[in-house]
Amino acid sequence: MVTAADSGPAPDQQARQPRLRLGVVGTGTMGRHHVRILAALPEAELVGIYDQRPEQAAKLAVEHRTRSFGSLEELTGQVEAVVLAVPTYAHSQIGCELLRAGIHLLVEKPMASTLEEADRLMAASVVGGGRDRVLAVGHVEFFNPAVQTLLRLGEAPRYIEIQRLSPFTPRSLDVDVILDLMIHDLQLLHALDASPIKEVRATGIDVLTQRIDIASVRLELASGVVATINTSRVSAEAVRKLRVYLASRYFSVDYRKQEIKGFGLRTEGEHRLIMPETLEVHRCEPLRAELEAFIAACQGREVSYVAGADGRRALETALTIRSAISRV
């Protein structure tokens, strides 16, 4: 993940940057949102889209006043960067083709199906001589403004508790709930504490699909931090919360409401008091923030985003959890 205090040139300098020519490959649930946002971003030129279902792509292209291309090769020849939102099993093959063609890439999470596929993507992005391609991974929750506010505190956590419960939807069924939903929180866990995983305890069951639909995990990191994560894609209601216990403060992040509420320990004379402490959050659409960061990175500006190495690490932890469940 690239992190810098300097977020880039001044606004007037940014305005002089030529618009980045982008395409979207895959127009399913996430791809459609990428198309919607890119079509409206002033710093982007949405050159066109490609999908193996040409009728769907053509309809979406008309809706957003862009072009539907008849082949991936045809689109590749017209763009500088691509958002890849196809099923996970195709990420590595298509992504490597794009990167080798000199195209910057934002690939949706999970980065790949296996670590070997993730490594191929990372290798394809390396050109050398300062000409490496940007390889970003679509962990959109990282760009949730409440999460960004929490990360800016820069305080080491002591204990982390995460709940991500969602009603069932017939999407992303090519992967289990760990790679579908929990992987968001695994990436955030590593952003909060970069130390290695020391111990994994996990259970999981299938309910409505032939893959794991509910998973409960306890992770211990080398730093001593313990994290518990409960994830379901067959819940009666949506719950998305992150609770972080710091040295003398506690914060609860509501992902959906983009809010942070908490309590802090305060000493007044001989008395120790627990007082409410709410952090201000400037709400935004996380997917738009993700795309803006990707564009800025492609233009050579110093920004914070989820890079290939970060996406691979989240994938590695997810696969470790899956392996732990299979041994139960």
Please tell me the distance from the alpha carbon of residue 134 to that of residue 20, in angstroms, as a whole number.
13
CATH of 141-283+315-326, one of 1.20.1250.20, 3.40.50.720, 3.30.360.10, 3.30.460.80: 3.30.360.10
Spatial contact of 181 and 233, defined as CB atoms under 8 Å apart = yes
CATH superfamily membership of 11-139+288-307: NAD(P)-binding Rossmann-like Domain (3.40.50.720)
What was the pLDDT predicted at 38?
Answer: 98
Q: In angstroms, how far is CA 145 from the centroid of its own chain?
A: 13
What was the pLDDT predicted at 12?
Answer: 47
Q: Collect the ranges in the chain with pLDDT lower than 70.
A: 1-16, 129-130, 172, 327-328
Residue that is written with structure tokens 């618009």 in the block? 19
**Measured CA distances, 315 to 132, 133, 187, 268 (Å):** 22, 21, 8, 46
pTM: 0.90
Q: 105-142, pLDDT tens digit by residue?
A: 999 999 999 999 999 999 999 987 667 899 999 999 99
What was the pLDDT predicted at 3?
Answer: 41
What was the pLDDT predicted at 327?
Answer: 61
Which residue type is seen at 281?
V
Please tell me the distance from the alpha carbon of residue 306 to that of residue 188, in angstroms, as a whole number.
10
Please tell me the distance from the alpha carbon of residue 293 to that of residue 273, in angstroms, as a whole number.
40
What was the pLDDT predicted at 265?
Answer: 75
What was the pLDDT predicted at 127?
Answer: 83
What was the pLDDT predicted at 247?
Answer: 87
C-alpha closest to that of 321 among 157, 182, 139, 187: 182
Contacts 24+ apart (CB under 8 A), 256-261: 257/146, 258/144, 258/145, 258/146, 258/283, 259/146, 260/146, 260/149, 260/150
**Measured CA distances, 175 to 70, 151, 233, 322 (Å):** 28, 29, 12, 11
Kind and range of the H or E element at 120?
A: helix 115-125
Q: 180-199, pLDDT tens digit by residue?
A: 999 999 999 999 999 999 99
Burial tier of 75 (Cβ tally within 10 Å: 0-12, 13-18, 19+): buried
**Burial annotation 138-177 (CB, 10 A radius, 16+ → b, else e):** bbbbbbbbbbbbbeeeeeebbebebbbbbeeeeebbebbb
| Domain residue limits, the chain | 11-139+288-307, 141-283+315-326
